[in-house]
Amino acid sequence: MRRKMGAAGTVLAMAGLVATACTNNNTPSGSPAAQPDSGTSDQVVAAAYDRTTAAKTAKTTITTEIGTGGQKVPVNASGVIDFAGPSADLTENMGLGSMEVRFLNGLVYAQLPPQLAQRMGAGKPWSSLDLNRIAQQQYGASLADLQSSLPGDPTDTLGYLRGAGDQVTKVGQETVDGVQTTHYNVTLDLDKAAANQSPQREQAVRKLEQQLGTHTVPAQVWIDDQGRLRKMTFTETMANPPSRPNGQSGPITIDVTEVLSDFGIPVNVTAPPADQTTDVTDQVLKGGH
C-alpha cells in the first residue's frame, strides 16, 4: 500500500507539474513556425524545440510519477499552456481529488480539494504558492535556476531536444492522438542542450548533471510532419538530489509522459481574485504543519 506524501510535499509536487507544462519560448515573437526539412534524424529532433514553441500555445496531457523515500506519487494533468508566457491552466488529479491549477508569473494558484485545503489552512476557494520564495529558501537558488535543475525541467523540457546528437534512432511511423508521427529513440546530451544558452542556464544544467550523476538522459519522442513534438517520455533518476524538507533522503525518480495537441489555440490565463485567494507559501516552507 502506497503511503501518501505530507501536505507540503503534495503541493510541491503539484507546483512542479504545473511548471513542467510551461516552457520558455526563445523564438522571436511573430516568427512563423519553421517547416520541416529532410534532415537527419538528430537534426529533426533537435529542431523540434523551435518548431513546437513557435506555435505559441497548445493543449497538453501530462502523466507523471514521482518516487522518493519509498513513496510513489502519481500526478496527472491536462489543459492548455502558453509557451511564451510561460503560463498554464490545468486540471490535475493527485489522488486527493481533482483541482484546477493555474501557473502565472512565478505563482501557482490552485482550487484545492477540501481535504488538502483543510490541511494547508486555506480558508478561501483558491490557494497560492510563491515559487520564487520556495526556490530561494529550500534550494538557495532562483526560480529560474531551480526550474532548470529539477527533474522534468519545468521551464525547458522541450529545450532538452536541442541536446539530440548522433545517438538518435528512427523507430518508425506511429499514430499519436490520431496524428501520424515519427517515433525516435533518443539519448539527449545535456551539455549540448545548454550550449550557447545563458550562463545561468548552463550553470543550472551543470547542477542537474551533478544531481543525476550523468550528462545524458534517454528519451522517446514522437514528431509530426511539421516537425513539432507530439509526445515525449523520459525517466530521470536523481542520485544526488538537492536537500529536501522533512528529512527525506535517497534518490528521486521521475517518470514523465507529455502529449501535445491543438497547437495555436487561444489561451488566456488569469489570476483568481485576490480576496478569494489564501497564500499557503509559509505553510509549505514549514512542511505543512
236 vs 168, which has greater pLDDT?
168
Highest mean pLDDT among 31-45, 46-60, 168-182, 234-248: 168-182
Residue 1 lies in a domain: no
- pLDDT tier at 23, thresholds 50, 70, 90: very low
pLDDT at 146: 43
Question: What cell does 200 get?
Answer: 545561468
| Confidence label for 5 from pLDDT (cuts 50, 70 and 90) | very low
Residue-wise pLDDT for 236-249, tens only, equals: 887 766 655 455 66
DSSP codes joined into one string, 53-102: HTT-EEEEEEEEEEEETTEEEEEEEEEEEETTTTEEEEEEE-SS-EEEEE
CA proximity to 160, closest of 194, 183, 203: 194
What CATH number is associated with residue 174?
A: 2.50.20.20
Rounded CA-CA distance 108/92 in Å is: 13
Residue 130: strand pairing partners: 107
**How much is the pLDDT for 88?**
86
Q: How many distinct structural domains can be found in the chain? A: 1
* Residue 285 exposed, middle or buried by CB count within 10 Å (0-12, 13-18, 19+): middle
18 found inside a domain: yes
Q: What mean pLDDT do residues 278-283 have?
A: 82
- Give the pLDDT of residue 16: 53
Least confident residue range of 63-77, 117-131, 198-212, 275-289? 198-212
Structural contact between residues 183 and 241, judged by C-beta atoms closer than 8 angstroms: no
Amino acid, res. 89 = D
Where helices occur in the chain by DSSP H, the ranges are: 7-20, 41-53, 114-119, 131-139, 143-149, 190-194, 199-212, 281-285
**pLDDT score, position 149:** 39
Among 19-33, 45-59, 106-120, 194-208, the range scoring the smallest mean pLDDT is 19-33
Domain assignment present for residue 24? The answer is yes
Q: Residue 148: what pLDDT? A: 41
pLDDT above 50 for 54:
yes
Give the DSSP H or E segment for 271: none
Q: Rounded CA gap, 225 and 186, in Å?
A: 18
More confident residue, 277 or 147: 277
Res. 250: pLDDT tops 60: yes
Q: For residue 216, is it within any domain? A: yes
Cα-only R_g, the chain = 18
Q: Label residues 210-236 b or e (16+ Cβ within 10 Å = b).
A: ebbeebbbebebbbbebbbbbbbebeb
Write the pLDDT tens digit of every residue in 183-218. Answer: 999 988 887 777 776 666 666 677 777 777 778 888
Answer yes or no: is pLDDT of 276 > 80: yes
Domain assignment present for residue 230? The answer is yes
Task: Residue 50: give the domain boundaries.
Answer: 7-285
Let me know if residue 30 belongs to a domain: yes
114 within a domain of the structure (yes/no): yes
| Residue 2 is assigned to a structural domain of this protein | no
Q: What is the pLDDT of residue 170?
A: 94
For residue 251, pLDDT beyond 70: yes
Angle at 17 between CA 162 and CA 119, to 5 degrees: 160
